[in-house]
Structure 1
Amino acid sequence: MPKPLFRGIMPAIPTPMQPDGAIDEARLTDFVHFLIREGASGIVPIGGTGEYTAQSASERQRVVATTVKAAAGRVPVVAGVLSTGYADAVDAGRAFTDVGADGLLVITPYYARGSQDGMRRYFASYARDVKNRVLAYDIPYRTGVGLTPQTIVALEADGAIVGMKACNTDVAHFNEVAAGVSADFALLSGEDGLFPTHMALGACGGIIASASLLPAYWVRMYELAAKGETGAAIAAQRRLLPVLDTIFSDVNPGPMKAMFRMAGADIGGVRLPLLDPDQAALRRIGETTEMMYAQGLIDRTALFS
């Protein structure tokens, strides 16, 4: 049975920033080395967690280029494309392809939201114009529009997409997608809280935000789920619930960047319109970080070392 190129744990990474808000390429390089050393199967820069919409086109290309250079072919790099306009999305995809991205995570068009037929044509046209592997990014609770299982299956049949990041809490929807796509389709969970369930239903891995902070733990969870040890994988995921509740207590990646800082790996703050956590939030983040130390989830000397 063929295996998708994109599989396993692929962290959706926050973009490291310098104190003045500029992209910290040196820190990003260290970050990529750390994730690969900890077992990540791929790296996904400049998605929502990477603050795509807060960066200029040239900054995004630099982030992708730096990630590709640091990965050095050891794992695939899938760059996020969160532009809503078709021309801008094509320009971004071509720019990321030019600097070596192995694939593109392309969000469904939002604001000007198309019909299912419109989105099918959008992705088909995009794949023709950009000429790279395309994964659909389906996140209806952010975009206000979602791909139906029938559209996803049709997009694979069209040759328009090779996989998808499924950020949809509708388990029945995910199950129908899994039943309809082929074995070499990269069906990737995008829900940190549903990952073991998605694996049991047919996912081949996940693009997971919190795996940026805890890559080795997520890799172990993936290995349990991939072996069919669903109960053990669910137990491992439940151990992370306080961490996930804290990370997603405000718009990602603000709390997670603060948690990195408290864990000894400062990757800077967030850009407007997002705000860094206030004092009350920082207390909660600090308590969760200390809990992670106490439970052995992270080591005070491990991050980026």
Structure 2
Amino acid sequence: MPFSSAAPKPKVAHSAPRAHLFGLSAAMVTPFCTDGTIDTARATAHAAFLMQEGLNGVTLFGTTGEGSSLGTSDRACLLDAVLDAGVPAARITAAIVAPDIETASAQIAAAQAKGVDRMLLAPPFYFKGVSQAGLGAWVTQLISTTKRDMQIILYHIPQVTGVAFDAPLIRQLKDRFSDTIFGVKDSAGDWEHTASLLPMDDLAILIGDERLLARAAPLGGAGAISGMGNLLPARVDNLIRTGMADPDMDALVDRVVSAPVTPLVKALVGGLHDDPGWATTRPPLEQADSALVASLLATVRSLKG
């Protein structure tokens, strides 16, 4: 079933004045067959399910999607499957995950060839301790290699990449590249850093830690690219749109982040769909602990209602 290329038009509440700028995109998990290849049937079905749940879009190849474990052919296969599910390219964000400019540029070109122009850009992650000037030079050179207009969301997740986009650099990049730098996904879970970004009202500030969504909403948070959006999209969306705290959701996220997150979210997706095949991960990740999955699945089902 095809979906409208236009994202749903959410109500703009005084408690969440900028939620209409982005809304909720699920950080879509990536299904694998037992031989390690992309499971296109599951990917197509899950993408269609997410859009039917009313999400503004899906994000592919991110942390929850095991993007750093996906090669060129994997990325093409997954993107084709999601497009085949009827998800418009305009509602897809492609994560760009590479330590070198050539590979990052090729990932951008491949996405744009399919009509996807919004990118979630992870920093180059191999060298640690790089300066903000060096990181800015990398982003500048990358942007200079692209042949078409695009919208970049800078991906701040230093606990994974070991490289941070500091607020002053974000401001400099936005000032230099204007329309190209669309926003920031702040997944550090550090409120002080988030608070330094929220006054930048010419950027879409997206919150990666669901426990901070309600707090950010009245201060200018524009939405989320959310792993929990695979499981409880309505509750995550409510945090974005209303700015109302959800202690039960916070408690669930506390438990999820205490374990390897990606395998756990995948297994919970499988549990919701009574499909154990979703538990398969690609090395180096290992499958989630079955006892923990069973325990959390009961909670997820109760919150889903």
Instruction: Please indicate, yes or no, whether the TM-score normalized by the shorter chain is above 0.5.
Output: yes
CA contact (8 A) 2:189 2:212 kept: yes
* Equivalent position of 2:118 in the other structure: 103
The corresponding residue for 1:276 is: 287
Distance 2:18 2:140 in 1: 23
Q: Does 1:196 align with 2:214?
A: yes
Q: Could you tell me which residue of structure 2 aligns to residue 263 of structure 1?
A: 272
> In the alignment, what sits opposite 2:159?
141
Distance 1:26 1:256, change over 3 A: same
Higher deviation after alignment, 238-247 or 6-15:
238-247
Q: Amino acid of the residue matched to residue 295 of structure 2?
A: E
Following TM superposition, by how much is the alpha carbon of 1:189 offset from its aligned partner in structure 2, in angstroms? 0.7
Secondary structure of the residue aligned to 2:175 is helix
Query: Is the contact made by 1:261 and 1:268 (CA closer than 8 Å) also made in structure 2?
Result: yes
1:224 maps to 2:263: no
8 Å contact from structure 1 (residues 68, 101) kept in 2 = no
SS at match of 1:240: helix
**Cα distance, 1:193 vs. partner?**
2.1
Letter paired with 2:173: L
Matched, 1:287 2:305: no
Q: In the alignment, residue 117 of structure 1 is paired with which amino acid?
A: A
Instruction: Return 5+ residue gaps in structure 1 as ranges.
Output: 226-232, 300-305
Identical aligned pairs, as a percentage? 24
Name the CA distance, whole Å, in 2 between partners of 1:72 and 1:207. 16
TM-score when normalising by structure 2: 0.85
| Secondary structure of 2:198 counterpart | helix
- Aligned AA (1:163): G
Q: Does 1:153 align with 2:171?
A: yes
Give a deviation string over 1:44-83, Cα, whole Å, max 9, x none.
Answer: 0110111112122111122123223434428610111111
Q: Contact conserved, 1:123 with 1:161, CA < 8 A, in 2? A: no
Report the CA distance between 1:192 and its aligned residue.
1.9
Question: Which of 155, 160, 165 is equivalent to 2:185?
Answer: 165
Separation in structure 1 between the aligned mates of residue 241 and residue 201 of structure 2, nearest angstrom: 21
Q: Describe the SS at the equivalent of 1:187.
A: strand
- Asked whether the 8 Å contact 2:18–2:221 carries over to 1, the reply is no
Distance 1:169 1:215 in 2: 20
CA contact (8 A) 2:268 2:297 kept: yes
Question: Matched residues in 1 for 2:19 and 2:297: separation?
Answer: 35
For 2:137 and 2:284, locate their aligned partners in 1 and report how far apart those are by CA, in whole Å. Answer: 32
1:13 partnered with 2:31? no
- Cα–Cα, structure 1 residues 69 and 157, in superposed 2: closer, same or farther, change >3 Å? farther
Matched residue SS, 2:57: coil
Instruction: Classify 1:216/1:272 alpha carbon distance in 2 versus 1 (closer, same or farther; 3 Å).
Output: same
Secondary structure of 2:88's match? coil
Residues 239 and 35 from structure 1, CA distance in 2 versus in 1: closer, same or farther, beyond 3 angstroms? same
**What secondary structure does 2:153 align onto?**
strand
Equivalent residue number for residue 253 of structure 1: 262
CA shift at 1:251, angstroms? 2.1
Question: Equivalents in 2 of 1:186, 1:154: separation in Å?
Answer: 15
Bigger Cα displacement from structure 2, 206-215 vs 114-123? 114-123
Distance 1:129 1:44, change over 3 A: same
Secondary structure at the counterpart of residue 136 of structure 1: strand
Q: Hey, what's the Cα distance between the residues in 2 that align with 1:65 and 1:4?
A: 29
Which consecutive residues of structure 2, in runs of 5 or more, have no partner in the other structure? 1-11
Contact 1:80–1:105 (CA<8 Å) still a contact in 2?
A: yes
C-alpha distance in 1, partners of 2:77/2:20?
Answer: 24
Q: Is the 8 A contact 1:11 1:40 kept in 2?
A: yes
Q: Counterpart in 2 of 1:79?
A: 94
State the match for 2:304 in structure 1: 298
Q: State the Cα deviation string for residues 211-242 of structure 1 (Å, max 9, x = none).
A: 111112222222212xxxxxxx21x2x21234
After superposition, the Cα gap between the structure-2 partners of 1:6 and 1:256, relative to the gap in structure 1 and judged at 3 Å, is same
Note if 1:121 corresponds to 2:137. Answer: yes
